Chains A and B, each alone.
Chain A
Amino acid sequence: MQAHLDVRHLRKSYGAFTALDDVSFTAAPGEIVALLGPSGCGKTTLLNLIAGFLTPDAGSVIVGGRDIVNMAPHKRDMAMVFQNYALFPHMSVERNVAFGLKMRNVASDEVGKRVQEALDLVQLGNLGKRYPKELSGGQQQRVALARALVVRPSVLLLDEPLSNLDALLRKRMREEMRQILKAANITTVVVTHDQEEALVSADSIVLLASGKVEQSSTPNELYERPSTIFSARFMDVTNFLDGVVIGHEQGNAVIDTAFGKLRAEVDSCTIGTKVTVAVRPENIAKGEEAGENCVTGEVISSSYHGPVRRIEIEANGARLIADIPVKRCLSKVGDRLSVSWPADDTRLLPGQGHAPVDGKNLEDMLQ
C-alpha cells in the first residue's frame, strides 16, 4: 500500500567528497516526486540510500512513520526500476514479473492472476513466455515497470527509467508512464537528468546540485519561478542581467540594469540589493507594446530555429536573447531593434554572476 515517504537530513560522504549534504524532502502517499539534477549532483546516491543499497552517514528515511534507514533492502517493501532494467536473463517475462510476489510468498494462483494484470497494464499481455533478450528496449522497460508495480510496494523507485530509450520512444513513454503510475497510485520517486521528463511525469520536483537541494516545488513553480540562478539555468532560462534594486512600485521591483530600468513582479525587495534579472527568450516580443519592460539594442546575431528566429541584441555591454516568430521578424544584424515583455514574466534571482554547475562524475562511479 502506498505510504508517506519522509527523507530527513541525509548526509553521505566518500572520504573528502560529499555526495549528499543535508538533503530532505517528502512524498505524500500516491505522489510522484522527481529528483532532478545534472550528473554528479547526488540524485542516484539519494535513490540508493532510500532503497537501502547504501547507508547514510547521518539522517533518516521514514516510510509510513517508521525509520527504516538501517533496514536491509529486501525488507523494505519497495520496488525499483533500474536504468538498464536488470531483467533476469534466465527467466521468462512472466517469471521476472512474478519474482517479487514469490519472495512475498503469495499463493501461486494469485501470482498468475496478478502477473497477467501487471502485463496487461503495461500492454505486454501476450509476451509472458518470452525471454528478455527477445524483447526490444521499450518492451524490456515495460517488463521492468510491471515487475515493480505488481508487488504493490509502499514506495516505488525509478532510476532514470527512460534514459536508455531513443528520443522518440522516450517522449511517448513519458506520458504513458505517468498515466500508469497515477493509475497505480503508488508513492514514487523518479531520478532523472532530463528536465522535460521531470516536468511531464512528476507531481513535484526536487532539484539537486552538488549534493544539496537547490529548489523543491511543483513543475509549474520550478519552470515559471525558479528561485536561484542554478535552477533558472537548469530550466533553460537563458537571459541573465546583473542589476541593483532601486525601488518598489505597484507590486513590481524596479531594477537598474545595463538595459535601463526593468520591472519584475515580486512581493517585496530591499533597495540596494544586487540581483539578477532573468527572463525567457520566448516571453520577449518584438515592438514596444508587449509589456512594462521595453529595451532597445543593436542586433548582433540572428539565427533560424524553425518556428522562431533567435535574435540577440546588445546595449551597454549587456545582451538579451529573444525568440521572435519568423513571420514577424525582419531584422538583420546591425539593425536597431526594440523588444518588450511583461513584468510578471520577469524573475528576480538572488546574487550575481554565473551559477556554477558541478558536473563531477565521481558520484556516479561510486555507486
Chain B
Amino acid sequence: MKRFLTAALFFLGLLLIWQVLYSLKLWSPVLVPSPLDVARYLRDAVLDGTLGSSCAVTMKRLLIGYLIGLCAGIPIGLATARVRALRDTVGVLALGLQGLPSVCWVPLALLWFGQNESAMLFVVIMGTLWSVILATETGVRNVNPIYVRAAATMGSKRLHTLTRVILPASLPFIVSGMKQGWAFAWRSLMAAEIYVTILTGFGLGHLLHYGRELNAMEQVIGVMLVIVSIGVAADKILFSPWENFLHRRWGTSG
C-alpha cells in the first residue's frame, strides 16, 4: 500500500508540474496542451471507439506475431544449442539478424506483402525471433551438465530430459530473451504503423501519425500515454510472473 501511495504521489506530482507549465503559458497551447485537454481527447476517443479499435488492431498484430516468434524461436534455439552444424549456420544467421534493428525489416515487408497484416506480422516476428533463438541457445549451453547427469541416474531420457531439465534450467536466459524480443517487436511495430498506412487496419501508430497531420497535440500526447501504458501493462502481465518465479526459486536479485 505504501509503495502504491509513493507511486501515486509521484505521478500526481508530474501531472501538477505539467499543469503549472501549461498555466505559465511559456509555450503555445498548440504545442503544450493542458492535461485536461489530453484527458478530454482520450475520453472522446474511448467513447467514439477509435482508441479501442486501434488498440485492438495493434495488440492483435503484436500478440499473434510475438506468439509465433516464441513458438518458433524456442525450439530453434534448443536445436541450435544441441546440434553443432545448426549452431554454425542458423545460429550465426540469428546473431547477424538480431543485430539488425528490426524496423529495418519494414521496407522489405511492405514490398513483399503490401500494406497489410502480413507485413505487420512479419515485422513483429522478425523482431521477436532472433532474440529468442539466441537467448534460448545461450541458456541451453549454460545448463550445468550435472543436472542432466543427475536426471539420467533417475531414469530421465531424451525428450523428458529436454522438457523437464534443460528447458527449465535455461529459463532465466529464455525469459530475458522473451523480454528483449517483446521490446524489439513493439518498437518496430510502432515504427511501421507510423511510417505507413496499413490498409487492413488502423493501429495506434496510425492514430499517432494522424495526430501530427492534424496538428492535434492532445491526440499525440494522449496516444503516447496509451502506448506507454501498454508497455507497462505488458511488463506486469506477461513478464512479472516469470520474473517473480525466477526470483523465488533461484534466489537471484530482481
Q: Do A and B actually bind?
A: no
Residues on B facing A (Cβ under 8 Å): none
